[in-house]
Structure 1
Amino acid sequence: MNEYQHHRTGTALATALVEHHPEDATQVGAAERLISAVDADPWGSVRPSLYETARVLSTAPWLPGGQTRVDHLLREQADDGSWGDGPAPYRLLPTLSAVEAVLAVLQREPGAGGATHRLAAAAARGLAALADLPSAGPWPDTAAAEILVPSLVAAVNERLDRPPVADLPHLGPWHRGSRPAVPGGYHAAAPEAVAGKCRAAGGVPLKLHHTFEGVARHIPDTLLPEADGLLGSSPAATAAWAASAPHSPQRQRAVDELAAVAHRYGGLFPEAAPITVFERLWVAAALARTGLPPAGVPTLRRWVDRIYDTEGVRGTPGLMVDADDTAMAVLVAALVDRPRDPAPLAMFDNGRHYDCYIGEDTGSLSANAHALQSLHAYLRHHPEEAETHRLVMGRVADWIIEHQQPQGHWTDKWHASPYYATERCVTALAPLRGLRRRRAIEAAAAWVLATQHDDGSWGIWGGTAEETAYAVKILLCTSGTAHNRALDRAEAFLRATAGTPGHRHPALWHDKTLYAPEAMIQAEVVAARRLLRTRHETEYLP
């Protein structure tokens, strides 16, 4: 039974399962509570970002709470001197950000005694950790890393070259001329080259607002972009912009918004705020596919009524409209029987597949998978339009299959784990006919079966509930005895994980660094557990 068949069973099946199996009642309750919590949160459920917090500490010393941010950086430094989540390549950018911020504090407040020694020691350990990182990657495809990394290397070296930092003996060899270099794969001239294009165009395009801090030093005051609140929904970009912006009501609004975000996050900052549109769409899509509890349907319909836009949907204020969020709005609308015209997707069609946003450099498989899913879901309500969308659905499906890895999985730039991209692609291809598409799904399922951990989980850096949820959904699109054994083990793992006090989902999602959208992850896990229960429906339905 695929996810669309699950959806068609609707709330009647959900009610029957509640009556006949207490565990499913628990999952229905979890879904209802999650929907209510997301609906009540005006910010979105995501942890603070060390990268963003360090950027604000460095460029906005006038913002209250600086000592909280300093303490956070010192507390979060790893034993090896680095900062950040994930394996070594992912730690490059947050470590650069933290080192530069600590040096900025030392430069502003040289002082003496224990505080200076502690900060200088943290910076020295961070610099040593940078020297120990791979010299040439491969580096993860995180947002604007090509400008953020060389920009921060230059900023770190400038700090090291200027007194009082240059004279601090606590920095060890770093105060005697040793300097971090731009790692292989990045180019020192990239920030200036991008800024040069902005100067030639007479302004900073919207595409660069979210990562404006990477070019801010190269943009003259006369070409600063306009900000209405946070620039590009990013605290780091906003702080860099406010450092150069003249005093004005516009700047004050940005400063007030930074203060509001700091208040929400206890003096720290996430990579984007608020993320409510993005969060609600992903939560709604995950839960609606499993047969929503009746109490949640009106809320999801209200969300989609507010979010869908004929001009396209943006994930957060200040970002560009994009195909990913637009497709998810169309998908959720169809899943909750509020079908909306997929016409806004046409602006992203490049003739081969969908660009995630106008001016995109590298295509997104998950965004195209979401677009394909949304068109299929929409056609369930409007089958008379099948001919209109048939050609684009066919070529997007072909493009997705062409990018399948030899091992059977897919990868994507918005997530570190191939299980996310693979589940999205399999779900998009599952309702479509054709031998090639069926073989692609079977290859993905074989890869999933081959990569299950001994404890029943899946994950690229160790088993996680999130990645296990994606793997479960992939296997549920196919069938077989081996699948059932793997799913039984996965169900046991998810049940055990759900009972672990204080469990935190690891950061696997890509923005500038890794982050973990908690509510979205939890929705995927709840959905997977409900789907695992519904596969047993014949065991307890009358």
Structure 2
Amino acid sequence: MTSLLNRANRLLAEVAADEWGSVAVSLYDTARLITQAPWLAGHHARVDYLCDTQGHDGGWGQPDGYRLVPTLAATAALMTHQRTQTTIAPPTRVAAATAAGLDALRRWLHPANHLTVADTIGVEIIVPALTDEINALLADAPDLSPPLPLPDGFDHGILTALRERSRRGTLSQRAWACLEVLHMTPQAPGVQPVGGAVAASAAATAAWVGGPDGDPTAVDFLHRLQARGGGPVPGVTPISYFEPAWILNTFAAAGLQATVPATVLDRLEAGLDPTGAPAAPGLPADADDTAAVLAALLRHGRIHAPDALLRYHTGDHFACFLDERNPSVSTNAHVLETLALYLRERPADGARFAGPATDAADWLIHQQQPDGSWEDKWHASRYYATACTALALALHAAPTTHRALERATAWVLDTQREDGSWGRWTGTVEETAYAVHTLLHARPDGTVQLAVKRACAYLTGAAPGHHPPLWHAKDLYTPVAVVHAAQLAALHIGEHITGA
């Protein structure tokens, strides 16, 4: 127990000292910097990173529709790198990686294969934009033709419309995150970097800054960001509010009473305004981060009425963004969690918040899958969405929630792997931690205790630091400190459930 608490305290001290946050490398953003910012320090390290991480099938990224976007980006980057080399013959390794990437794309995109593409951020504009980019490069290298087709269901309509808005300077703030495919004039007015970062995206920042003589603060941001990873870069940085909010809520929900630096709580309060809170400065506010920030503050004695959440209430559920294409299970779970916590502190406010809380709970129950799990648009694994929803429904504690929690528990117990882990593609520390978090809300019988004991043995013995990307951005990414917090909290839950 003392060891876990010490590790949790160290993690929070690290979070307090670094407002950018700890995020693993993104294949997509690293590739886009090769294409758009070859002037930036670390260029050759980024090229080497792509060559080192290419799969045996010639692609990049995770399975099940997640490989197309990073493979398009990586192949376009390596083709551009070859084209701009000053040497007469391109390095053999890069040429081989490029050819393998093109072969993979041609196989996947063949019309007979009906490729399924994961719904990551901006996929509807990134896929046609990068396909066009590769086809333009192929046109200049006839030996590498034919051109690539678009996958089923994709066209240029939205991309064309957004590029026109970009030309007119009328892009919404949410669209800034994809500037790298919108052909925006460098440093065009209307886009406002914060701390040098455009939409917390290395790729979008590089597109906006234009070159080494662009906006000095943005250039400095890119130099510092690539230096943190020795060339390769993360795809979502900074995560100034998202990271501490998720960590504080994870610890508190598990009963792990770590010491929270006041500066972390001050940072979260600074992120709030009447529209809510974003994941980081420079991003638009959303219901997910707003709920998480409010809950984290509330759990630590800083109570703010959740009025900002009501602006996202659609009538039967909560939107993450007001103009989103599809709703989010985890967002509604976090909203319900926050409202339940707030109503425990301020029951007199039930007239305003009890009805919306019931709406969120009923909507979540109707989203439960036949097997008892939930799935979400912000994460590749059902174990995340299921853990979020189980916590929220347990806090809401209405008669309608009991059966849903029982079904979720049964699904978790049924899907544990032989080594004690859980995971979509393979057992992972992150998904195993979420499964344990879900079992916190189950009756602690012998079956649950044995499952948690096996899980904790896996979590204790797992190699430190390696966490496959599961979170949705433009490709999959890992918020490293958030995952580490989930692991520590799960081990603490394990001590509680098993009595170890």
> TM-score, normalising length from structure 2?
0.93
Deviates more, 1:208-217 or 1:228-237: 208-217
Mean CA deviation greater in 490-499 or 326-335:
490-499
Larger % of helix: which?
Answer: 1
SS where residue 343 of structure 2 aligns?
helix
Q: Distance in 2 between matches of 1:62 and 1:468?
A: 41
CA radius of gyration, larger in: 1
Once residues 266 and 69 of structure 1 are traced to their aligned partners in structure 2, the CA distance between those partners, rounded to angstroms, is 9
Residues 393-449 of structure 1, C-alpha deviation per residue, up to 9 Å, x if partnerless? 111111111211111111111000011111111111113344432111112112112
**2:183 maps to which residue?**
216
Distance 1:197 1:309 in 2: 28
Structure 1 residue 296 displacement after superposition: 3.2
Which of 69, 73, 77 is the equivalent residue of 1:101?
77
Find the counterpart in structure 2 of residue 369 from structure 1: 333
**Is 2:203 the partner of 1:236?**
yes
Amino acid at match of 2:232: L
Structure 1 equivalent of residue 27 of structure 2: 50
Q: Tell me the SS of whatever aligns to 2:392.
A: helix
What corresponds to 2:63 in structure 1?
87
CA 1:297 to 1:317, structure 2 compared with 1: closer, same or farther past 3 Å?
A: closer
Which residue pairs with 1:438 in the alignment?
Answer: 402
Check 1:157–1:30 CA distance in 2 against 1; reply closer, same or farther (3 A cut): same
2:14 to 30, 37, 54: 37
What amino acid is the match of 2:358? G
Deviates further, 428-437 or 385-394? 428-437
Q: Say which SS state the counterpart of residue 295 (structure 1) adopts.
A: coil
- Aligned match for 1:122, one of 56, 78, 97: 97
Matched letter for residue 30 of structure 1: R
Whole-angstrom distance in 2 between the partners of 1:294 and 1:97: 41
Q: Could you tell me which residue of structure 1 aligns to residue 39 of structure 2?
A: 62
SS at match of 2:311: helix
Is contact 1:334–1:340 with CA below 8 Å preserved after alignment? yes
Shift in Å at residue 327 of structure 1? Answer: 0.4
Deviations 1:480-501 (A, max 9, x none): 63xx324423333333433344
SS at match of 1:289: helix
Please tell me whether residue 357 in structure 1 is matched to residue 321 in structure 2: yes
Q: By how many angstroms is 1:292 displaced?
A: 4.1
Residues 361 and 220 (structure 1), Cα distance of their counterparts in 2 relative to 1, 3 Å cut:
farther
Amino acid at match of 2:247: V
Structure 1 Cα separation of the partners of residues 103 and 491 of structure 2: 44
Counterpart of 1:5?
none
User: Deviations along 1:339-398, whole A, 9 cap, x unmatched?
Assistant: 111111122222222211232111111011101100111122112112221111111111
Secondary structure of the residue that 1:402 maps to in structure 2? helix
Task: Work out the CA distance in 1 between the residues paired with 2:206 and 2:264.
Answer: 34
CA distance change for structure 1 residues 438 and 87 in 2, over 3 Å: closer, same or farther? same
Calculate the aligned-residue CA RMSD, in Å: 2.3
1:378-527 equivalences under 5 Å are 378-479=342-443, 481=445, 484-527=446-489
Counterpart-to-counterpart distance in 1, 2:465 and 2:238: 24
Q: Deviations over 1:144-163 (max 9, x none)?
A: 1110011000000101112x
CA separation of 1:493/1:446 partners in 2, compared to 1, >3 Å: closer, same or farther? closer
2:153 corresponds in structure 1 to: 185
Query: How much identity, in percent, do the aligned residues show?
Result: 37
Q: 1:70 to 1:33 in 2, by over 3 A?
A: same
Give matches, 1:251-266, under 5 Å: 251-266=215-230
Report how far residue 206 of structure 1 moved.
0.3
Change (3 A) 1:32 1:108: same
Report the counterpart of residue 497 of structure 2 in structure 1.
535
| Matching residue of 2:240 | 276
Distance in 1 separating the partners of 2:225 and 2:232: 8
Q: Which is further off, 315-324 or 66-75? A: 66-75
The answer to whether the Cα contact below 8 Å between 1:420 and 1:470 also exists between their aligned partners in 2 is: yes
Structure 1 unaligned segments of length 5 or more: list them.
Answer: 1-23, 168-174
The 8 Å contact of residues 203 and 223 in structure 1, kept in 2 or not, is answered as no
Q: 1:438 to 1:293 in 2, by over 3 A?
A: closer
Please tell me the residue identity of whatever aligns with 1:182.
L
Contact 1:43 1:275 in 2 (8 A): yes
Q: Residue 335 of structure 1: which of 289, 295, 299 is its match?
A: 299
The change in CA–CA distance for 1:231 and 1:295 in structure 2 (over 3 A counts) is closer
Distance in 2, Cα, partners of 1:226 & 1:383: 41
**SS of equivalent to 1:138:** coil
- Give the match for residue 227 of structure 1: 193
Q: Is the contact between residue 304 and residue 329 of structure 1 (CA under 8 Å) also seen in structure 2?
A: yes
C-alpha change, 1:499 and 1:313, in structure 2 (3 Å) is same
Alignment check: 8 A CA contact 1:224 1:241 kept? no
> Partner amino acid for 2:176?
H
**How far off its partner does 1:111 sit?**
2.4
Distance across 1 between alignment mates of 2:72 and 2:286: 30
> Which residue in the other structure is 1:4 paired with?
none
Q: What SS does the corresponding residue of 1:216 show, helix, strand or coil?
A: coil
Task: Report which stretch shifted further, 495-504 or 505-514.
Answer: 495-504
Measure, in 1, the Cα distance between the counterparts of 2:186 and 2:272.
37
SS at match of 1:98: helix
Deviation at 1:281, TM superposition (A): 0.6
2:58 and 2:401 map into 1 onto residues whose CA distance is 47
Superposed displacement of residue 185, structure 1: 2.7
Q: What pairs with 1:305-316 in structure 2 (closer than 5 Å)? A: 305-316=269-280
Task: Tell me if the contact between 1:314 and 1:321 (Cα under 8 Å) persists in the aligned partners.
Answer: yes
**Deviation of the 1:304 alpha carbon:** 3.6
Identify if the C-alpha distance between structure 1 residues 392 and 261 changes in structure 2 by more than 3 Å, giving closer, same or farther: same
Which residue of the partner structure matches residue 163 of structure 2? 195
Alpha-carbon distance in structure 1 between the residues aligned to 2:398 and 2:241:
35
1:149 to 109, 120, 127: 127
SS in 1 for 2:246: helix
